[in-house]
Amino acid sequence: MQVLVGKKAPVFKAKAVVSGGEIITDFSLEQYIGKKYVIFFFYPKDFTFVCPTELHAFQEKLAEFEKRDTALVACSTDTEQSHWGWLQMDKNHGGIKGITYPVVADTNKTISYNYGVLNGTYDVSDEGEMLATSEMIAYRGLFLIDKKGLVRHQLINDLPLGRNVDEAIRMVDALQFNEENGEVCPANWTKGSDGLKASHSGIADYLAKH
């Protein structure tokens, strides 16, 4: 697992399903540089159990991300055809119909590998046979990318552990607060709360008030 915080988000071009049903062949996060923040998140598999709860939870808060000038993009190692089929399946049957943000197909697993979220590695046996140490699917990785294309926050959960979408929103708020005010965000900071100046006097003043 690599730490990407503070580094340029790895670039890629891949097939993706956009607007709930259109397959495109050259989707890239580079389209957002200089224009939007991005929450780029990985999930393990289509047609599973925890994954649709997460994708729908992000969709339900899409307007909140858009108000914050933030794009949502999902990705798994399934094919674009698999994504498309899952997008046609109703929510009450375990599908993700109604998801409108892009869903990227990392079929060759290079995006997951470059973002450090690929579950498993390849090896070669003594007999020269290619082996995989695990399923070679993506962990539940989430990356907040700023308008310069830098990763400012990352979170990686194991396969059975779903994420908190409100926490992703809070991190967007914290980043934007820091950029706008020059103050840092203390523990449990939420939008509308006080920040603090990054100095001894600043922390002293903050702790005295709280």
CA angle 122, 128, 129 (to 5 degrees): 55
> What tokens does 98 get?
């109604």
CA 45 from chain centre, in angstroms, equals 15
Instruction: Measure the CA–CA gap between 73 and 39, rounded to whole angstroms.
Output: 6
How far CA 34 is from CA of 118, 136, 138, 148, 149, in Å, comes to: 28, 33, 28, 6, 8
In single-letter form, the type of residue at position 142 comes to L
- Which of 38, 51, 103, 172 is labelled catalytic? 51
Q: Which helix (H) or strand (E) holds 12?
A: none
- Contact by Cβ (8 Å): 99, 87: yes
Among the residues of the chain, which ranges form H helices?
Answer: 50-60, 62-67, 80-87, 110-114, 165-181, 200-209
> What tokens does 24 get?
């495109």
Partners of 150 in the beta sheet? 8
Q: Is 75 a catalytic residue?
A: no
Q: Which residues are catalytic?
A: 51
